[in-house]
Amino acid sequence: MQVTTEQLDPCNIALTISVDPERVEVARKKAFQQAVGSLQLPGFRRGKVPPHIAKNYVDDARVKQRAAEVLVPDAYREALTEASVEPFAEPEMELVSMDDNGPLVFKALVPLRPQITLGLYKGLELERRKIALADADVEKELENIRARFAEYPEIEDRASETGDFLMVDLTAIVEGQDLPELAEPKATMIEVGKNIPDLDAGLQGLKKGDSKSIEATYPETFENEGLRGKRGVFTVDVKEVRARVLPELTDELAQRARPKISTVEELKTDVRTQLENDAVEASENEVEFHLVSKIVETSQIHFPEVLLKAEVNAELNQLAQTLEQNKVTPEQYLASIGKSVEQLQSEMAVGATQRIKNSLVLSEVARAEGITVEDADIDAKLAERAGESGVSVSAIRAYVESQGSLDRFRDQALTEKILNFLKEISKITERIVTTAELEAEEASKASENASAAPAELEEAKPKKRAATKKKAEEPAAELEAAPAEEPKPKRKTKKAEAEPPAES
């Protein structure tokens, strides 16, 4: 057997393997005998057809295929040993030739382990933005709590105004074409004041039983790029008009909102504590994100394509499950975001690439610094989860072990230890910012990024792993709002939680 190697890139090698004709002939004879063994012709018992007769009834192409199926696995393993190649994943096989009385020649495209050369990771300089909470932040959260317990009585003594909710049958045409999900009247709830400006203006002053067609132009900042600047016609048949009535902030409401709370004052204290904890977590998430990003920027990272495909497929599967749970078809979802399958996969690949790089550099730091996970680290993560869930540690452990997900806690513990180590050896300065200042800075960054190339913009976004604190996407809500709703600003915490690295 002959083996030639071609290094395609740091993480992919091509092996061209030639199996000797004698060995091929032995395999062909065995494959022929197997085919004859299952052959049954009139006048002969099964498997007893003479070879000179059987060859007229046996498909030679299938014999060659069977011989190749028998030869290739063993030949590939032998070639790996001969070429001293350690594969990272299953190869892609390509049959080159298998002529009569000749060798079997095939090519194996073999993925190799990721290659990482760490850049600078010690003494990095970063800024930690510490959020200083104000009374206004607490009041805002209290208003959110009141909103959760709002009542929505139907109103008939006045026309609709900002803040009201309209129950309508909605259809939409954009640039003369139906929106797929709104080609037929669809029962929809619309909050007046939360949509694109032209539509909101047209929704003012409506009453139950009204029917109206509203012309509206999508803003250039609309989330769905495919709709930006386009003009649509929205037809609404109003079934109900409902007001939103917020309850008074009383001790009773405080108890309904949080059963362990007795009074409004206790609720205010609890809300402030929660906001302070969230602010600390957001600050640390941001530091960790920038810290890992800096290391990735100065490191040389190579990984095989198969790793990227696996990451994208996992994200696609997660999205598919979420869509199914929300009874949304893939076609409806793609229409709601104005993208093709190829565009969606391309965007996912950009984010997946960044997550893989993050994970690989963290794993390499762990290897370089000898950072490992002890049983006590796993116990601490289980205790943390138990505290969040309000159950015993033993109950959490029993459940986790029954689900076979203990390794997930091990990975989380390792990731946390690596990030803590990196923060300890970095030079981190602190700057106090108010919530208003933070939102202004984030808005300014968003404005600057608006003109960036899509790939550059995506690379700059923080990524969270589903294995830790990543929330499932909510495509149903996005689909419902896509035709009419202006996207709401969201504060993003910038966590650098890459895929937890495997313990070295």
* DSSP code per residue over 319-339: HHHHHHHTT--HHHHHHHHT-
Q: At what angle do helices 330-337 and 305-325 cross, to 10 degrees?
A: 100
What's the N-to-C CA distance of the chain in angstroms?
36
Strands (DSSP E) found in 332-470: 427-434
CA neighbor of 466 nearest in space, from 288, 302, 274, 315? 315
Q: How confident is the model over 280-328, as pLDDT tens digits?
A: 999 999 999 999 999 999 999 999 999 999 999 999 999 999 999 988 8
Q: How far apart are CA 294 and CA 73, in angstroms?
A: 43
In the prediction, which pLDDT does 251 show?
A: 96
Strands (DSSP E) found in 200-292: 211-217, 231-242
Q: Is the pLDDT of residue 467 over 80?
A: no
Buried b (16+ CB within 10 A) or exposed e, 282-309: bbbbbbbbbbbbbbbeebebebbebbbe
In the prediction, which pLDDT does 497 show?
A: 36
Read off the amino acid at residue 281. E
Average pLDDT (150-162) is 93
Q: Is the pLDDT of residue 212 over 50?
A: yes
By DSSP bridging, strand 125-132 and strand 427-434 are parallel
Reduced to 3 states (helix: H, G, I; strand: E, B; else coil), residue 481 is: helix
Instruction: Kindly report the average pLDDT of the chain as a whole number.
Output: 85
Phi, psi dihedrals of residue 383, rounded to the nearest 5°: -65, -40
Q: Is the pLDDT of residue 482 over 70?
A: no
**If residue 355 lies in a helix (H) or strand (E), which one and from where to where?**
helix 341-369
In the prediction, which pLDDT does 182 show?
A: 74
Q: How confident is the model over 439-464, as pLDDT tens digits?
A: 898 888 876 765 443 333 233 333 33
Strands (DSSP E) found in 20-164: 92-98, 104-111, 115-117, 125-132
Average pLDDT (235-241) is 95
In the prediction, which pLDDT does 443 show?
A: 82
Buried b (16+ CB within 10 A) or exposed e, 418-450: bbeebbeebeeeeeebebeebeeeeeeeeeeee
Own/partner pairs, 48-51, CB within 8 angstroms, 24+ separation? none
In the prediction, which pLDDT does 277 show?
A: 95
Structure-block tokens of residue 444 = 């300014």
Let me know how many helices (H) and strands (E) the chain has, helices first: 16, 13
In the prediction, which pLDDT does 10 show?
A: 94
Q: Helices (DSSP H) in 155-196: which residue ranges?
A: none
Q: How confident is the model over 158-177, as pLDDT tens digits?
A: 999 999 999 999 998 888 67
Q: How far apart are CA 268 and CA 254, in angstroms?
A: 9
CA neighbor of 419 nearest in space, from 314, 470, 494, 311? 494
Phi, psi dihedrals of residue 385, rounded to the nearest 5°: -65, -40
Average pLDDT (465-475) is 30
Average pLDDT (2-20) is 95
CA neighbor of 396 nearest in space, from 417, 380, 374? 380
Q: How far apart are CA 494 and CA 189, in angstroms?
A: 33
Q: How confident is the model over 81-132, as pLDDT tens digits?
A: 999 999 999 999 999 999 888 899 999 999 999 999 999 999 999 999 999 9
DSSP label of 181: G
Q: How far apart are CA 50 and CA 41, in angstroms?
A: 11
Place of tokens 């009535």: 245
* Cβ-proximal residues to 94 (8 Å cutoff; 6+ apart), any chain: 106, 107, 108, 109
Average pLDDT (364-391) is 92
Phi, psi dihedrals of residue 302, rounded to the nearest 5°: -130, 135
Q: How confident is the model at residue 149 (pLDDT cuts 50, 70, 90)?
A: very high
CA neighbor of 347 nearest in space, from 473, 221, 468? 473
In the prediction, which pLDDT does 478 show?
A: 28
Q: Is the pLDDT of residue 42 over 60?
A: yes
CA neighbor of 203 nearest in space, from 173, 170, 178? 170
* Cβ-proximal residues to 407 (8 Å cutoff; 6+ apart), any chain: none
Strands (DSSP E) found in 65-210: 92-98, 104-111, 115-117, 125-132, 165-174, 177-178, 186-191
Average pLDDT (151-156) is 93
Domains and CATH numbers, the chain: 2-113 (3.30.70.1050), 125-131+281-481 (1.10.3120.10), 151-242 (3.10.50.40)
CA neighbor of 484 nearest in space, from 193, 238, 121? 193
Read off the amino acid at residue 110. V
This prediction has a pTM of 0.74
